[in-house]
């Protein structure tokens, strides 16, 4: 169980709970798991801190689509 929460905090960046209610915590856990699965499906690899950073930079407008695609392509090349 500890490894799961370490992964949840370190890799997904969910360092703080956004809610203290049971429903709020449940929603945050589900959203973290869904995000992780979507990243895995898109990249073909398990999520890393760098991949999460690239997605955050892209969604905030600090990285271009080409930069994000280059990161994803690098992941695919490493997997081959």
Per-residue pLDDT tens digits for 11-64: 666 667 777 889 988 888 888 888 888 888 888 888 788 888 888 888 899 999
Its domain, for residue 28, covers 2-79
**Other Cβ atoms closer than 10 A to 43:** 19
Region class of 68: left (phi > 0), else alpha (psi between -120 and 50), else beta? alpha
**DSSP state for residue 61 in the 8-state scheme:** T
The pTM of the full predicted model, rounded to 2 decimals, is: 0.65
Q: Name the domain count of the chain.
A: 1
Instruction: Indicate the SS3 state at residue 46.
Output: coil
Q: What are phi and psi of 18, to 5 degrees?
A: -85, -15
Query: Residue 55, exposed/middle/buried by CB under 10 A (0-12, 13-18, 19+)?
Result: buried
Which pLDDT belongs to residue 70?
A: 93
């Amino acid at each position: 169980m500890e490894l799961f929460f370490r992964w949840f905090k370190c890799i997904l960046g969910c360092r703080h709970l956004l809610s203290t209610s049971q429903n709020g915590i449940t929603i945050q856990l589900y959203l973290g798991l869904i995000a992780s699965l979507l990243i895995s499906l898109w990249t073909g690899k398990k999520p890393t801190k760098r991949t999460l950073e690239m997605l955050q930079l892209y969604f905030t407008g600090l990285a271009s689509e080409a930069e994000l695609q280059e990161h994803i392509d690098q992941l695919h090349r490493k997997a081959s």
